[in-house]
Amino acid sequence: MTHPTIELACKLIEEKSVTPEDALCQPMMIERLEAIGFKVERLRFGDVDNFWAVRGDSGPLFAFAGHTDVVPSGKEAEWQHPPFKATIEGDLLYGRGAADMKGSLAAMVTACEEFVSQHPDHQGRIAFLITSDEEGIAINGTVKVVEWLEARNEKITWCLVGEPSSTNTVGDVVKNGRRGSLGCELRVIGKQGHVAYPHLASNPVHLAAPALAELAQEVWDEGNAFFPATSFQISNIQAGTGATNVIPGDLKVVFNFRFSTELSAEELQKRCENILRKHGLNFECKWHLSGQPFLTAKGELVAAAQKAIRDHCALETELSTAGGTSDGRFIAPTGAQVLELGPVNATIHQVNEHTSCEELIRLHNIYTSVLHNLLVAK
C-alpha cells in the first residue's frame, strides 16, 4: 500500500528509538517540516531529544504533540515479524510503535504537508511539540519543553496529542481529559522482635491493616459527568526479614490514587494522612504527583475533531477520560484545549503491535480536516 503516511510510518518504525533514544526519528520529521516552512528549534534536556517547530507568525496556535520513543520490544523471537522492521501484511502494519505512536506522527507530518500545499497562507500558526521521553520517566521531555515555552510566554491555543485513543476503529473514541495520578510510598514504623514474644515488639503489619482497609473502602468522591469516582489501589506491600520467627520492624506500602477534577491532590494527601493518624500509626509518607487531572469539555478543538471524524468516519465520536496518563497533563495546565486522537490501542506495548494502514490514512485525513476546521476562514 503506497501513501505518504504509510511510507513515513514505516521509516519511523525502523528507527530503534527505545526510550529515551530518538535514533533518527526527529531529524526525519524535522527535514520534512522545514521543507514546508516550519522554523525548528532543537531542545535537548539531559539525555533527551525534543523539538519545537512553528509555521506562521501570528494568531492562535494549534500544536500537534507526540513522542518518538517506544517501549522495549521484549523477546524478539516471540514476534511474528521483527519489531523494528516495518512489515505490511494485508491491511496491517506491524512493528514497535506502529500504533503508539509512530503511525500518528507520520499522519501529523503528512497532514501538514497536504494542508500547507492547499493553504500556504493559512490563518494562525501550526506547531509540533515532539519528545523522546514519554514512555520512560518523562522528566526531560514535554514537561521541560512546556516550561521553556512558558518562560517565553508562548501559549498553545489548541493541542492534539497523537496517543492511540481509539477502541475498535479510528475516531470512535477521543480522550478529552485524563485523571490525575498521585502516588505514595508509605512506611509504617513498628518494633522488631521475636514472634514468641510479641509483647516486646510492635508489629507494623497488624497495626496498619485496619488503616489500609479503611483507605481501600473510603469513598473519595462520586466522580462527575466526565470522570469516574476517584480510585485507591495498593500496588506493593513489603515487610519482614525473610525469617519466619521475626516480627518486622517496619512495613512499606506503595499505593496510587487516580483522581478526578472533584478534588485536589492536596485534599487527597490530607484525608489519607488523617486516616493513618486516626489509627495511631507512626508513619512516613513520600508523595509523588505524576499529573493533575485535566478536561476539555467543549470548545473549538472538540468541535473541529468531532466534525472531522464525522466527515471521514461517518460516526459520532465518544469523548472519554478513561485510561492512564499522557503528556497532555503537562500541556493542559497552561490553558490549552487538549485532545488525544490516534489509532486503535488494542495492541500497544504488546508483542506483534500493529495498526491498520487504511485507518492510518483515515487518521491523516482527520488531522488534515482538523487543521482546515480551525485555521481556514469559514
Active-site residue set: 69, 134
Q: Cα–Cα distance between 226 and 234 in angstroms, integer?
A: 24
Q: Cα–Cα distance between 15 and 175 in angstroms, integer?
A: 28
Q: Cα–Cα distance between 39 and 52 in angstroms, integer?
A: 8
Nearest to 60 by CA among 124, 116, 122: 124
- 221: exposed, middle or buried (Cβ count in 10 Å: 0-12, 13-18, 19+): middle
* Residue whose C-alpha cell is 478543538: 301
Q: Within 10 Å of residue 242's Cβ, how many Cβ atoms?
A: 5
Q: Cα–Cα distance between 21 and 118 in angstroms, integer?
A: 34
Q: Any idea how long the chain is?
A: 378
Q: Cα–Cα distance between 189 and 248 in angstroms, integer?
A: 9
Q: How many CA atoms lie within 13 A of 112 on its CB side?
A: 25
Q: Cα–Cα distance between 206 and 202 in angstroms, integer?
A: 8
Nearest to 252 by CA among 200, 208, 210, 202: 208
